[in-house]
Amino acid sequence: MEQLALVQGDDAEAWAADAVLTIVGRPQRRVEGAAKVTGRARYTHDIRLPGTLHARILRSPHPRARVRHVDASRALALAGVRGVLHRFNTPKTAFRGEETIFREEVRFVGDEVAAVAADTEAIAEAALSLIVVDYEVLPHVVDLEEAIDAASPRIDEKGNVLDADRYERGDVRKEFAAADVVVEGTYRTSTQLHNSLETHGAVAVWDGDQLTVYESTQHVFGVREGLRNALHLPLANIRVLCDHMGGGFGSKGGIGKYTIVAALFAREIGAPVRCVLDRHEENVAAGNRSATLQRVRAAGKDGRITAIAHESWSNVGQARWVADPTGPTKGLYDVPNVLAHAHRVLTNTGSLAAFRAPGYVEGTFALESAIDELADGMGVDPLALRRRHAGSQVDPVSKMRYSLKRLVDCYDIGAEEIGWSRRARGGLRGSAPGLRRGLGMASQLWSGGGTPPAYATVHLNPDGTAVVRIGTQDIGTGTRTVIAQVCAEELGIDVRGVRVEIGDTDAPYAPISAGSLTVASITPAVRLAAKDAREQLLDVASGVLEVGRAELRVEGGAVVSRGARTPIAKVFEDLENYTVIGKGSRMPNPDDIVLKTFGAHFAEVEVDPATGMVVVERVVAVHDVGRIVDPLTARSQVEGGVIQALGFALSEERVVDKPTGRVLTSGLETYKVPTVRDVPRIVVRFVDVPDTVANNVGAKGLGEPPIIPAAAAVANAVANGLGVRIRHLPLTPRRVLDALAAAS
Amino acid sequence: MPTVRPSGPGAVDVELDVNGIRTPLHVAPHTTLLDALREDVGLLGAKKVCDEGTCGACTLLVDGRAVYACMTLAVACAGRSVETVEGLARDGELHPVQEAFIAHDAFQCGFCTPGQIMSVVALLRATPSPSADEVMRAVSGNLCRCGAYPNIVEAALAAARKGKERP
């Protein structure tokens, strides 16, 4: 589909690879650092408005049931209860393609049935147990593979397996027939829960017909749009705010039902209403990474990969989209014959939400495991086999050229750092008798080129400080800091003189902070706004100083001409409150070039065949994401992505009880996110070559890339060390032992 | 229909020493220290992430020892010294652990940070020159979903090296 992008003005020339930059590319202290270490940073959970009421949600105890009747009279009689909402008294409020937030047929344990507003959270909680719901219990299915089975209860009249998305290039069937070696494997990944430490939640308050919502979100404008659709308000009447937020990892892309609950109660009762999920609600009803079943066939001939066929089934709950695991199979390697086929499978479990590189994490595990299996079958080093298909500068899907691709450089850097030449077929001896050691690697493909629209303003104050306003949000990645850097660099002032105002729909529009979009979408707009401000400043300075404009430049907070430095404050001194307001907008991406990010992870593991324990000792993470704006926060981003991937690879798994549909791992005691003890040595490297074709800053995104290949690299290292392939994540001791038993 | 009221004994008076300030409270006996601080005192640094002692985001010090505030009753802290992240900076100057967390980028979203910092502060008071292993033991009860762990360990060791930990 053609996209129309309306922009104003001209772009700035990209900073060249050899441009001398003094702030961009240098490590910075996070601009919000002091607020976060002192406890001063305010999150949605911390919003305290006078007279706030508290809302709690009644959730279905059944995986599937029809709500026949709700009796809230006893709840309403409880002192301190201010209102109850349920499907028989709630106005239609559109939510993600459904007409109402309370379904007639609840579809999973945890589905919203009713909500209570009360003076305190404890009273609201107590009132939930006083609501009497008459359920007609219906047959259910929660397991992915059972749901695929035609004998299982059908959740949707069209069946449980939907939306088959198919892609083909070349002739896979012919190549499989002609191949020297064909490998085939069935791979499984488990449902991963985001577990952002700040749970989903919102505080809503009305002032007449003006609605203000504080929400822990990755997209304030997305929340605004969701509220407009639900409540039919003009955009000017909605303001959404998110100052700091405690993690999202993809799950906080728009409004939740809690947002609508808070807004409806707040309007009805005339008081601010806070609706915040607890940890267990978060883990049943706020999204997840789909469990997948994947079949990959790969063929090799004459030392090359000739064909790959990849079919996938993803447990989406009731979602209307699927995080396609076959993306890497289509685009990562220059392989002439590819067949990809993705299915969406409905179950009576909580729906998926985007989770950091949705689909790509799961798909890369299956694809990269299969590539290693093929290399083994062909008797080729797996890295050597990948090299033969990684150098192409043309995207195999669109057939267009990449703006910049340094994947082979990533291989060189990573192989050197991990000591790939030590790798041996059948693995290495471990550090103690009986232990096995292995090396593995995997590649990463993701977008990350950013997109319009995004707009920014830069106010240059009379004292030479500046305020940047842009409606983006800092989800913890350091967005405020890179904005300040780019603004200060372009404007020619100290980075500490820049204040960054974000997380507010009254600021200029910026896209969702997800999908590695942020840096490449917003910093080019910030740069143009700062450039506009600088040019206006020079116009004024030329008049004030009576020096030709062409002879002036801004440097270190001063207007500099030959031999003279005039601080910006001095230039403005006699102009009273003269304020320069620069504005900038993100220019469109080139339309005949493909923007992607690349990388490779190398892992060294030690496995104990007696206990099944896998210990990851070292991960080398190398990424090609264009210019690194802040090496300090970039390294943090990669370490964090690797650690989250290790959870996915080794310990994280949502367990659902099949007879009752209940999530048994909804707390952090049973659901195992990595702790400090689980962290290996992580070596981070960047190719760090600016992508001057992509945008005027030369940077691309880095949120997704570091979570994509680590699990696959670990799985390949385990297979190398043990000589046995485990095709089911996470690689728990049980699965390792079972695989060893099956192999012997 | 008769009005239903929550059962249980009523609120009681209790006085805590919070960051050196005598703080009288009127709370129900089952009120956690975390809720008392967040809802009654207005100290919002300690975070409620799990409310069941599984994440460490509400870690603070009671009589100098790191505890989970969600697992501690406010009434049990009567007359005891409670230290929160808000009490660390003095005269506008950050505590060395806070300073090291910024310098080493030991956080991303920052939601676990107050708890991590309090765990490290407790460690350094008892063990001024800890090994990396001791640091890891001290923060092993503090989850960080962003995965700032390597930098948290670095920050703690750097703060210890500076040796400026105040009693």
Q: Look up the CATH number of the domain holding residue B105.
A: 1.10.150.120
Contact (Cβ atoms closer than 8 angstroms) between residue A54 and residue A730: no
Chain B contacts of A632, Cβ < 8 Å? 105
- Domain total in chain B: 2
Cα(A650)–Cα(A715) distance, integer angstroms: 9
Contact (Cβ atoms closer than 8 angstroms) between residue A285 and residue A110: yes
- Please determine, for residue A125, whether its predicted confidence score (pLDDT) is greater than 80: yes
Give the minimum alpha-carbon distance from B106 to chain A in angstroms, rounded to a whole number. Answer: 8
CB atoms B109 and A475 under 8 Å = yes
In a domain? residue B167: no
CB atoms A122 and B147 under 8 Å = no
Q: What is the pLDDT of residue A115?
A: 98
Q: What is the pLDDT of residue A692?
A: 97
HEC-encoded secondary structure of chain B: CCCECCCCCCCEEEEEEECCEEEEEEECCCCEHHHHHHHHHCCCCCCCCCCCCCCCCCEEEECCEEEEHHHCEHHHHCCCEEECHHHCCECCECCHHHHHHHHCCCCCCCCCHHHHHHHHHHHHHHCCCCCHHHHHHHHCCCCCCCCCHHHHHHHHHHHHHHCCCCC
Cα(A430)–Cα(A424) distance, integer angstroms: 13
For B93, residues 6+ apart whose C-beta sits below 8 A from its C-beta are none
Task: Show which of residues 683-722 on chain A sit within 8 Å of chain B, judged by CB atoms.
Answer: none
Burial of A291 (0-12, 13-18, 19+ CB in 10 A): buried
Chain B contacts of A78, Cβ < 8 Å? 3-6
Q: What is the pLDDT of residue B5?
A: 53
Q: In this predicted model, what pLDDT tens digit does every residue of A567-579 receive, in sequence order?
A: 999 999 988 888 8
Cα(A577)–Cα(A582) distance, integer angstroms: 16
Residues B126 and B105 in one domain: yes
- Give the pLDDT band of residue A497 (cuts 50, 70, 90): very high
Q: How many Cβ pairs within 8 Å bridge chains A and B?
A: 172
Cα(B67)–Cα(A714) distance, integer angstroms: 35
Q: What is the pLDDT of residue A2?
A: 46
Contact (Cβ atoms closer than 8 angstroms) between residue A419 and residue A717: no
Structure tokens at B26: 């009127």
In a domain? residue B110: yes
Chain A contacts of B149, Cβ < 8 Å? 639, 643, 674-676, 679
CB-closest option in A477, A667, A668 to B108: A477
Residues B71 and B115 in one domain: no
Residues B30 and B67 in one domain: yes
Q: Which residues pair with A83 in a beta bridge?
A: A117
H helices present in A509-630, as ranges: 518-545, 568-572
Q: Chain-centre distance of CA A612, in angstroms?
A: 31
Contact (Cβ atoms closer than 8 angstroms) between residue A651 and residue A645: no
Give the minimum alpha-carbon distance from A247 to chain B in angstroms, rounded to a whole number. Answer: 6
Residues B113 and B59 in one domain: no
**Region A78-104 average pLDDT:** 96
Q: What angle do CA A276, A278, A283 make, to 5 degrees?
A: 115
Q: What is the pLDDT of residue B7?
A: 56
Chain A contacts of B19, Cβ < 8 Å? none
Q: What is the pLDDT of residue A1?
A: 41
In a domain? residue B121: yes
Burial of B166 (0-12, 13-18, 19+ CB in 10 A): exposed
Cα(A442)–Cα(A367) distance, integer angstroms: 9
**Region A182-203 average pLDDT:** 98
- Please determine, for residue A4, whether its predicted confidence score (pLDDT) is greater than 90: no
Burial of A92 (0-12, 13-18, 19+ CB in 10 A): exposed
Q: What is the pLDDT of residue A128?
A: 98
**Region A386-401 average pLDDT:** 98
Query: What is the share, in percent, of chain A residues with pLDDT greater than 70?
Result: 99
Residues B111 and B66 in one domain: no
ipTM confidence: 0.97
**DSSP states along A475-502:** SSS-HHHHHHHHHHHHHTS-GGGEEEE-
Structure tokens at A485: 């850097």
Domain containing B142: what range? 96-162
Which among B26, B56, B87 is the end of a domain?
B87
Residues B72 and B106 in one domain: no
Which among B37, B58, B87 is the end of a domain?
B87
Counting every residue written for chain B, the total comes to 167
In a domain? residue B100: yes
Contact (Cβ atoms closer than 8 angstroms) between residue A107 and residue A74: no
Residues B69 and B117 in one domain: no
CB atoms B102 and A38 under 8 Å = no
Closest residue of chain A to B2, computed from CA coordinates:
A77
Residue A328 phi, psi (nearest 5) = -60, -35
Cα(B86)–Cα(A36) distance, integer angstroms: 11
Positions in chain B whose pLDDT score sits under 50: 1-2, 165, 167
> Nearest Cα to A133, choosing from A207, A70, A175, A184?
A70
Q: What is the pLDDT of residue B167?
A: 46
CB atoms inside a 10 Å sphere around CB B126: 12
* Domains assigned to chain A: 44-138+200-276 (3.90.1170.50), 292-449+592-743 (3.30.365.10), 450-585 (3.30.365.10)
Strands B65-68 and B59-62: antiparallel
H helices present in A455-603, as ranges: 479-491, 518-545, 568-572
Contact (Cβ atoms closer than 8 angstroms) between residue A408 and residue A391: yes
* A48 at B interface, C-beta within 8 A: yes
In a domain? residue B3: no
Structure tokens at A54: 């508290």
Sign of CA dihedral A56, A60, A66, A69: negative
Structure tokens at A706: 């570091």
Q: What is the pLDDT of residue B2?
A: 47
Contact (Cβ atoms closer than 8 angstroms) between residue A602 and residue A440: yes
Q: What is the pLDDT of residue A562?
A: 87
CB atoms A38 and B49 under 8 Å = no
Q: How far is CA B109 from CA A38, A215, A633, B44, in A?
A: 14, 15, 12, 16
CATH, residue B66:
3.10.20.30
In a domain? residue B108: yes
Residues B82 and B129 in one domain: no
> Nearest Cα to A254, choosing from A514, A559, A64?
A514
Residues B112 and B76 in one domain: no
Closest residue of chain B to A641, computed from CA coordinates:
B147
Chain A contacts of B139, Cβ < 8 Å? 676
* A240 at B interface, C-beta within 8 A: no
Burial of A560 (0-12, 13-18, 19+ CB in 10 A): middle
> Nearest Cα to A155, choosing from A107, A113, A109?
A107
Residues B117 and B155 in one domain: yes
In a domain? residue B55: yes
Burial of A256 (0-12, 13-18, 19+ CB in 10 A): buried
> Nearest Cα to A119, choosing from A274, A294, A347, A286?
A274
Contact (Cβ atoms closer than 8 angstroms) between residue A518 and residue A454: no
Q: In this predicted model, what pLDDT tens digit does every residue of A444-457 receive, in sequence order?
A: 999 999 999 999 99
Lookup result for tokens 């069937």: A173
Cα(A478)–Cα(A482) distance, integer angstroms: 7
Average pLDDT, chain A: 97
In a domain? residue B38: yes
Q: How far is CA B96 from CA B127, B141, B158, in A?
A: 15, 21, 9
Q: In this predicted model, what pLDDT tens digit does every residue of A222-248 receive, in sequence order?
A: 999 999 999 999 999 999 999 999 999
Residues B78 and B140 in one domain: no
Cα(A661)–Cα(A140) distance, integer angstroms: 8
Contact (Cβ atoms closer than 8 angstroms) between residue A369 and residue A721: no
CB-closest option in B43, B49, B103 to A29: B103
Contact (Cβ atoms closer than 8 angstroms) between residue A448 and residue A522: no
CB atoms B146 and A247 under 8 Å = yes
Residues B70 and B103 in one domain: no
